[in-house]
A and B are shown apart, each in its own frame.
Chain A
Amino acid sequence: DIQMTQSPSTLSASVGDRVTITCRASQSINSHLAWYQQKSGKTPQVLIHRASSLQSGVPSRFSGSESGTEFTLTISSLQPDDFGTYYCQQYDDYPWAFGQGTKVEI
């Protein structure tokens, strides 16, 4: 099974900061990685598909990148609305797997 290791588990940042969250896959996943944002008590919302493709309607301050089996979600300038928990997910091979989440505190 492919394991997804996400870090950090918690992140405290200020409005305007550049924020990066990392996810490492235990093997190649052919860019089949998505990033989600989940606010407390709400449904997850997809931000990024295929490691770096921005979902329609998602602000351009969100971006995704990859280097081998390491994937990064970057928020270029953190906004108050960006608090919540972020998850990566690989969908290259079964069983699909989510990372353990990164809680972003403003």
Chain B
Amino acid sequence: QITLKESGPTLVKPTETLRLTCIFSGFSLSTTGVGVGWIRQPPGKALEWLASIHWGDNGRCNPSLGGRLTITKDTSKNQVVLTMTNMDPVDTATYYCAHRRVALGLDFWGQGVLVTVSS
């Protein structure tokens, strides 16, 4: 059974760095074809892809965030970490991580974590 759960602060101050951890079970990031993505959704708005990392790569991030994103994986701990620097109130959103297999969509999602950016 595949499960994912996002872990991290629910409140950050402007200019701070956000670090979110996706802790998963039921699959391994050392398995060919498997990946984990991060997606966010501001309140009342659409989904936005942030970053993805797969079994055989070091990850890709959305350039629209201006180089603020980093994604890393720890295969031994079954974790993927998303780091976002220089947080701003417009970054207030629910942040999700999700599982995928190559050539398919995001088929298992975490419950999401609402991150509020406010002083």
Where the two chains meet, the residues of A that have a C-beta atom closer than 8 Å to any C-beta of B are 32, 34-36, 38, 43-46, 48-50, 55, 87, 89, 91, 94-101
Contact = CB atoms under 8 A, between A and B. Distances in A.
Contact of A34 (B48, B63, B105, B111): B105
Interface size band for B: 20 to 34
Given A32-B103, A95-B60, 11 more contacts: A36-B106, A43-B110, A49-B105, A50-B104, A87-B47, A89-B49, A89-B105, A98-B39, A100-B46, A101-B46, A101-B47
B66 to A, nearest CB: 12
B112 A95 contact: no
Contacts of B46: 87, 98-101
Contacts of A96: 37, 49, 52, 62
Contacts of A50: 103-104
Sorted nearest first, the 5 A-B pairs with minimum C-beta distance are A34-B105, A96-B49, A98-B47, A49-B104, A43-B109
Nearest to A48: B105
Contacts of A98: 39, 46-49
B105 A46 contact: yes
Contact of B109 (A44, A87, A95): A44
